[in-house]
Structure 1
Amino acid sequence: MSINSKNLVPVLHAEWVGSQTAVLIDTISIDSRSLQNGAQTLFFALSGTNNDAHLYISELIEKGVQNFVVQYIPDNCLGKANFLIVKNSITALQKFAGYYRDLFHFPIIGLTGSNGKTIVKEWLNFLLSPDYNIIRSPKSYNSQVGVPLSIVAINEKHNLGIFEAGISTVNEMDNLEKIIKPTIGVLTNIGSAHDEGFLNLVQKIDEKLLLFKESEVIIYQKNEIVDSCLSQFLAEYMLNTRILFSWSYTDKQADVFIQKKENITGTNTLEYQYKGETFDLEIPFLDSASVENSITCLLVLLYFKYDFAIIQSRMQLLYPVKMRLEVKNGIHNCSIIDDSYSSDFQSLKIALDFLESQKKNAKKTVILSDIFQSGFSNSELYSKVAQLISDNKINRIIGIGETITSFKDQFSNIITFQNKEDFIKNFENLAFENETILIKGARSFQFEEIVALLEEKTHETILEINLDSISHNLNFFKSKLGANVKIMVMVKAFGYGNGGLEIAKLLEHHKVDYLGVAFADEGISLKNGGIMLPIMVLNPESTSFPSIIQYQLEPEIYSIKGLNAFLKIAQEKNLKNYPIHIKLDTGMHRLGFEENTLDELIATLKGNTTVQIQSILSHMATSDEARHYDFANSQIQLFEKLSSKLMNALNVNPIRHILNTSGISNFPDAQYNMVRLGIGLYGVSNDLSEQKYLENVGTLKSIISQVRTIPAGDSVGYGRRFMAEKETKIATIPIGYADGISRLWGNEVGYVMIKNQKAPIVGSICMDMLMVNVTGIDCKEGDSVIIFGENPTVTQMADALKTIPYEILTSISQRVKRVFFR
């Protein structure tokens, strides 16, 4: 990309404010935190309900960014940079992407549907890349913002594009169509994802078809509903010259008629009839979703006129797509970011941003294979990669591959190996310790072996944490807040069992205002992990006050005794205006100053300059129970009375906060200056109408260790509490009460999910194992098992066990490995 910034004025319908000197733009950015922002970056300051990037423009100017698309110029920034002022910066980003797309004239495949978009995109990239230089959406960049960012990565060397378009409601696809303008339209599986945004299935299909207004062909699975929608779509937009290219299992009128033949070998043979001929195509999948996605790819290859031999040779090599970046614990106190299945320039930029946001150790290492399909010459490509590595302040890079080895002179801090085997031979000499390691490799390099070498060895039960879901839930609750209301996020109890430091890193990346922990050691752990956000300690013990001061944590003070103890230590250390938080008891009767102790509190603090009140808070006892809302309102009224008295008497104006997660939703008029978000961040709400808007964060997974069949009359487990009434197939799962699974969940109260089917837990749950009834489930040793996640949810488990979701989450043992992914 090389675009004159002033030429964008008519494109964006913008007003230019700045110097008369135009700048050549080579990068687009919307993330103020990216280390890749620089002098030739055009920064779009997006403003929405959850965040306003205009607030960070001053910081960006200090870092060298000089060109901004804004809705307004922030105070103290006028004259310091060039500004393109627009009505709406998101619309401007989309206009820019549409303008940039029009600079290129090559085939573009546009993918939309409910399911399978990303997998089909990655498979098409694999299948077509031997013959084309492909630009594709990185990861799942298919939204109103993700699509423009995907398009602006096109360069002059590309000759085929593959882009996803995802929508969640009406009136969204028209924007994406103007940006992608696909010449080849592909409609993947239409399922129930995002149904809540549409009146019915027909409205959903109609909206998705809008992507194909300029497509020369539409590829889809033939059925009555889609055919009807297509007929109306073509008539409405007078597109009757368009080619419809369909497939079906049942309708022989489809262009490609498919029949499945499952093989003993774990593969499928698809018999397909096309243009009067019949072919057998072997694919390495049995599950229906993968088979459908494979057929979609087949139709694209047929449309591109590939012969049968090439189709067969390439499609039998299709592979499961790993669609996420994973954070794992590594050997010798390392942290591993696993992106070991793809290596292209655009996804490298994304992975490096993720590395910066999730680094546990200051030292950063990148293990990188040769890069494919960049669209640049090798010389230009590795020059850009070297600059990217430098911009991201990577301490060392380990290059693996013949090409990156031949360009090692471009890098200042690189060790190279010709292949993965050479790297493994020298592994012990590379001294991995106390560093964050990004592993980024093309699939052909099989870097999963490197991940296995570096990964900490633990047992096969894992808790997967979806960082994207945490971001979604955070933004959902932020959207409920008034202007200028701060947010404290609770990461106590090891992030409600999900992992404290990793989640704190993400929250710091999202620029939340405060973190909350229960005890000082939790805060110290976060500070040692590099967290710079202010951290409030809610239950500080007086013995921890010296450590709190040493690590610059901020204590909650809830009694005169505690206040005097802290003041004594603070005075001994000659502190001035050290931040403290005053807790008021308004009815919870757990911790806090009551009304009759307020005068003594005021007398103790009046004129004291050793500490300063950073905030005044209280805790609601019944914010989630409608039958106790009168009591909740009485707490809010008492908080207003007591906090106002304290502020007036001491002539201070600190932050005030009383609302927790359910309080944010149920008492919006009591947000004061800050709210405290807890369980809602982790995808749990006490309100069923609100729950559907939250995303599941944690999925507890294990595997089947052993499968056996027992005859009628035999028993399972301690105490023979399960007796088989008939021949029964039993699977053993390596997770038990030592991992945090309540014994009350056993004896057919609870269940796990195997192959999307319920398997009841039989007999007593053991310390390290549990047994399930898998009669009727086609499963084997090594198959995946879901303990909780989407089904059963922690809320369902809690209801059955007559407890609360908090207890389920926080009970998961530290010996269960946490894997974080995006």
Structure 2
Amino acid sequence: MKYEIKQIASILGVSTNNLNYAEISTLLTDSRKITNPSNTLFFALETKNNDAHNYISELYNSGVRNFVVSKIFNEWRDYTDANFLKVKNCLSSLQKLAQYHRSKFNIPVIGITGSNGKTVVKEWLYQLLEKDFNIVRSPRSYNSQIGVPLSVWQLDRDTELGIFEAGISKPDEMEYLEPVIKPTIGVLTKIGEAHQENFSSLQQKTLEKLELFTNCEVFIYEKDNELVNSCVDLKVLSQKTFTWSRKNMEAHLFISNTEKKENSTAISYTFMNFNYSFEIPFIDDASIENAINCLAVALYLHVPPNDISDRMSALEPVAMRLDVRKGKRGSLIINDSYNSDVNSIKIALDFQHQRKMDRKLKKTLILSDILQSGVPTKSLYKRVADMAEQSGVERIIGIGRDIMTNSEFFTMPEKTFFLTTDEFLKSNIHETFRDELILLKGARKFNFEKINNILEEKIHETVLEVDLDAVVHNFNYYKAKLKPDVKLICMVKANAYGAGAVEITKTLQYHRCDYLAVAVAEEAVSLRNEGITLPIIVLNPEVNGFEELITNNLEPEIYNFRILETFIKNSERSGITDYPIHLKIDTGMHRLGFLPGQIEELADILKKQKGLRVKSIFSHLSASESWTFDDFTHQQMNTFKEVADKIENVLGYPVYKHILNSAGIERFHDYEWDMARLGIGLYGISPSGLKGLKNVFTLKSTILQIKQISNNETIGYGRKERLDHDARIATIRFGYADGMDRQFGNRKGKVLINGQFAPIVGNVCMDLCMIDITDIKAEEGDTVVLIGEELPVTELADSIGTIPYEILTSVSPRVKRIYIKE
């Protein structure tokens, strides 16, 4: 649907005088995701650390002409062909516009909230109801104050049912989301501890979530939860409830039995005095509860029980995240298969565009038919083709009868279409892929995992999963602790602490990190070759590496007179002036840097030359994470201030100053100065034990073999461990050549398998190690977690007397990195 800009102005209470004519179909809050500039309305949202008004000139140059703003910059006054709708609060205006849009639809709308299971229930309801309704639903987990209005905006004339989830993290948020969603049917999923930190109790959080259902026609929840029952009474919602229960036969829906089998669960229920049953292909408790919530919705919408049974048995796992894998012949694979609706295609294309940047990779899209969209096929594929073209896709490979029939809408230089996945595989066209960024988007029935298997470079069954969303969360977590004008330098040396520097820095660049830092020029050059344009500090430059630094626009740390004088000579010889450098001061770490007693000589040399210009002065704290050494830390910071001020006064121009590392950001807010350096904290590890970071690394391997070994037998090289019991010993594919420290052997280390810890037994081998799985239900081929949420690297490091840095940076390059994003 499209709105004229004057109509939107009226909705927002803004004057319609002097507005240029424009039609709006796209609402934008992220300036990096432009796809349809002429029909886009940009909302300049402000947060603690960012002000989107700063990106309006950039958007204008990209073709956007319509903006909702809360202030006017002088530089915009020349933009006479643009429309600026000035409001008090841009987020409130976004919600107000979405609320108006929602009011135009007299259709059933399902609103889902809870602590856990919201996205699964939403996606399963889509699978269960897509044959009966043309559905619009929240993309992925768009359930925030921004995500909800963007989701509701997708409603159009063809929509017959809306399914939206709402998430909150603090009190009084739901009152803003309820009128935007305006659900007619409410679903409350499991209430738990997620996002509890801003609520005084579970009761307060539950009451806040129930605000979503204030005006709905019916509200579905589990009656066996006494906390929810009491909150329902307090909110006076009991007259509109549709309850289900495993205990109370008076509930609208009574679950009489659940029987877990090997790979499925049979659920029996009574509804309207009739008995029915169905099976779901899951056995975990969360899936059972989510399925029952979906059952209640389907029954309320009069879906016949026989149809429900058939559809429940075909429920598919919800692919919550896409991942990035290394492909053959220099290619990169973004695997987002099993999820090919229009909204997810747009999100995936944005992510593909984000990963490409300036790299010389051809953008390739492999796309299957889009099933049960409810939109006429010609309109659907015209829309998808436009999205792909606007995103810069250069090669399209379509698989399926519908996309082949509508191939004329795809106008990119290279396009090929096949009826089936097997037909594509037999064509061997995939062998021509070279240096391509390949996005896989396929409905489950097309078995795109076959395509992924032939495109992916196989190195090792052991994988290190790197959660890019967690990296972004941690980046923003520390950013929020700094004053808005303090720049953040992210440390990506040692291959981004083992995570993989290229993908980490692409993510940081996309999220507007200010600076990067690496150890050696070689690391920085590889980032430049991958399209990274952020300023990069080289901490340990080579004396003879000045030319390489200049060629790649890299900024060296200068830590002694030898390298300073060499770089001054090279700059004079090359005719270069004001090349940026960063001065390292040794305030007590006694590793690299100029000592305080050398500052006068240093300042004198700098004052007399023109080739180099000091961009920043910095120092390194020795023990900022330890309260024991706070006196010494304050001494370091006071010394640094005295030295930095002295150099700045001699130079006669302002320079950035920084001393805080991750622990420093956490503990010493009064010493932020102009910049701060984020290292281990970016990767989910707080040096001072701070809560709130997210785990970035999950290291996994597999069981190769299981043996029953008798008591008194020995395990491994050197016969270092003798069993004192009959044991089941499993051999896993991970050894010291992969990054397993040999100190973990002989029961000092452990792994996690099927939710239980298993000790590492015997000496660690080069490629393998052994674990004792006695009393653990496990089979050959099962996954073994070596580092993860429930087995944190900090705990592993403590067990052998080392630090997390050492363990993470020791993970071998032969371990495949997979990058995960929601």
Aligned equivalents of 2:480 and 2:228: distance in 1? 39
Q: CA deviation at 1:338?
A: 0.6
Aligned residue runs from structure 1 range 432-471, under 5 A: 432-471=433-472
Q: Deviations over 1:28-50 (max 9, x none)?
A: 11111114150210001111012
Q: Deviations over 1:731-770 (max 9, x none)?
A: 2221122111222223222222222222222222222222
Give the conservation status (yes or no) of the 8 Å contact 2:727–2:774: yes
Aligned to 2:606: 605
Give the conservation status (yes or no) of the 8 Å contact 1:57–1:74: no
Give the conservation status (yes or no) of the 8 Å contact 2:255–2:267: no
Match status 1:347 vs 2:344: yes
Give the conservation status (yes or no) of the 8 Å contact 1:420–1:447: yes
Distance 1:14 1:637, change over 3 A: farther
Question: Which deviates more, 63-72 or 425-434?
Answer: 425-434
Give the conservation status (yes or no) of the 8 Å contact 2:701–2:733: yes
Aligned equivalents of 1:252 and 1:375: distance in 2? 38
Q: CA deviation at 1:380?
A: 2.3
For structure 1, the 5+ residue unaligned runs are none
Q: Aligned partner of 1:321: which letter?
A: V
Q: CA deviation at 1:570?
A: 2.3
Aligned residue runs from structure 1 range 567-582, under 5 A: 567-582=568-583
Aligned residue runs from structure 1 range 400-439, under 5 A: 400-413=399-412, 414-428=415-429, 431-439=432-440
Match status 1:717 vs 2:713: no
Q: CA deviation at 1:226?
A: 4.0
Aligned to 2:327: 330
- Secondary structure of the residue that 2:148 maps to in structure 1? helix
Aligned to 1:642: 643
Match status 1:792 vs 2:791: yes
Aligned residue runs from structure 1 range 257-656, under 5 A: 257-264=255-262, 266-359=263-356, 361-413=360-412, 414-428=415-429, 431-656=432-657
Q: Aligned partner of 1:12: which letter?
A: L
- Secondary structure of the residue that 2:743 maps to in structure 1? helix
Distance 1:37 1:482, change over 3 A: farther
Match status 1:187 vs 2:188: yes
- State the TM-score, normalized to the length of structure 2: 0.96
- Secondary structure of the residue that 1:738 maps to in structure 2? coil
Identity fraction in percent: 46
Q: Aligned partner of 1:784: which letter?
A: T
Give the conservation status (yes or no) of the 8 Å contact 2:368–2:403: yes
Aligned equivalents of 1:389 and 1:483: distance in 2? 36
Aligned equivalents of 2:184 and 2:176: distance in 1? 16
Q: CA deviation at 1:15?
A: 5.8
Q: CA deviation at 1:210?
A: 1.4
- Secondary structure of the residue that 1:498 maps to in structure 2? coil
Aligned equivalents of 1:746 and 1:278: distance in 2? 56
Give the conservation status (yes or no) of the 8 Å contact 1:205–1:229: no
Match status 1:702 vs 2:701: yes
Match status 1:76 vs 2:75: yes
Aligned equivalents of 1:46 and 1:368: distance in 2? 34
Q: CA deviation at 1:513?
A: 1.1
Question: Which deviates more, 630-639 or 333-342?
Answer: 630-639
Aligned to 2:216: 215
Question: Which deviates more, 786-795 or 191-200?
Answer: 191-200
Question: Which deviates more, 590-599 or 131-140?
Answer: 590-599
Give the conservation status (yes or no) of the 8 Å contact 1:29–1:37: no
Distance 1:639 1:19, change over 3 A: farther
Q: Deviations over 1:515-573 (max 9, x none)?
A: 10000110011001110111110111113322222211111111111011112222232
Aligned equivalents of 1:477 and 1:75: distance in 2? 32
Distance 1:252 1:779, change over 3 A: farther
Q: Deviations over 1:685-743 (max 9, x none)?
A: 1223x2x2111111111222222333333333223344333332222221122111222
Aligned equivalents of 2:353 and 2:652: distance in 1? 42
For structure 2, the 5+ residue unaligned runs are none
Aligned to 2:739: 740
Aligned equivalents of 2:621 and 2:628: distance in 1? 14
Aligned equivalents of 1:721 and 1:75: distance in 2? 75
Q: CA deviation at 1:656?
A: 1.5
Q: Deviations over 1:316-374 (max 9, x none)?
A: 11122221011111111111111101112111111111111122543211111122454
Give the conservation status (yes or no) of the 8 Å contact 2:756–2:776: yes
Aligned equivalents of 1:562 and 1:385: distance in 2? 56
- Secondary structure of the residue that 1:695 maps to in structure 2? coil
Give the conservation status (yes or no) of the 8 Å contact 1:55–1:74: no
Give the conservation status (yes or no) of the 8 Å contact 2:568–2:609: no
Give the conservation status (yes or no) of the 8 Å contact 1:335–1:361: no
Q: CA deviation at 1:227?
A: 4.7
- Secondary structure of the residue that 2:38 maps to in structure 1? coil
Aligned to 2:110: 109
Q: Deviations over 1:614-658 (max 9, x none)?
A: 211111112211121222122222222211221211212122211
Match status 1:32 vs 2:20: no
Aligned equivalents of 1:429 and 1:225: distance in 2? 57
Aligned equivalents of 1:253 and 1:519: distance in 2? 70
Give the conservation status (yes or no) of the 8 Å contact 1:334–1:361: no
Distance 1:621 1:120, change over 3 A: same
Question: Which deviates more, 50-59 or 381-390?
Answer: 381-390
Aligned equivalents of 1:570 and 1:37: distance in 2? 46
Aligned equivalents of 2:137 and 2:234: distance in 1? 27
Q: Aligned partner of 1:263: which letter?
A: K
Match status 1:59 vs 2:58: yes
Match status 1:6 vs 2:6: yes
Q: Aligned partner of 2:342: which letter?
A: F
- Secondary structure of the residue that 1:77 maps to in structure 2? helix
Give the conservation status (yes or no) of the 8 Å contact 2:224–2:245: no
Superposed CA RMSD: 1.9
Aligned to 2:811: 812
